[in-house]
């Protein structure tokens, strides 16, 4: 039986955060894709069953806007960097099926900022 395919997309310099993938290799075919520009997201999204964005960075911003993303399960792993810089606000969250926080304090900060954003937009 063929393993489900996971494309893990990340921006340059962030590949060092991917040491957690080893246990998944028994159940999934995993390919890593370093994303340098918007056009780089198309092939990984087409190839994968599951699209995993490591960081809510440009890769996630571009990828959640790609028209083929609607056919995929999308996971996003959120770190402090993009919460603090506000990159997360540019992600198309309607395309994200599962959000993973690297730590509880990042979740708490995200929840606080998301609540403030919602208050300001009302």
- Count each helix (H run) and each strand (E run) in the chain, helices first: 4, 5
Domains and their CATH numbers in the chain: 5-121 (3.40.50)
Long-range pairs, 77-81, Cβ under 8 A, ≥24: 77/52, 77/53, 77/101, 77/102, 78/102, 78/106, 78/110, 79/17, 79/55, 79/106, 80/106, 80/109, 81/55
Task: State the pTM of this model.
Answer: 0.89
Confidence label for 122 from pLDDT (cuts 50, 70 and 90):
very low
* pLDDT recorded at residue 104: 95
C-alpha 37/C-alpha 67 separation (Å) is: 16
- Residue-wise pLDDT for 32-46, tens only, equals 999 999 999 999 999
The alpha carbons of the chain give a radius of gyration, in whole angstroms, of 14
């Amino acid at each position: 039986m063929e393993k489900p395919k996971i494309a893990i997309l990340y921006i340059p310099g962030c590949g060092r955060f991917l040491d957690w993938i080893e246990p998944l290799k028994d159940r999934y075919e995993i390919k890593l894709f370093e994303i340098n520009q918007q056009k780089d997201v198309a092939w990984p999204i087409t190839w994968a069953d599951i699209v995993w964005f490591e960081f809510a960075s440009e890769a996630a911003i571009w990828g959640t806007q790609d028209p083929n993303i609607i056919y995929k399960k999308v996971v996003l792993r959120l770190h402090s960097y993009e919460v603090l810089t506000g990159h997360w606000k540019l992600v198309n969250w309607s395309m994200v099926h599962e959000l993973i926080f690297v730590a509880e304090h990042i979740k708490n900060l995200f929840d606080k900022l998301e609540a403030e954003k919602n208050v300001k937009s009302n």
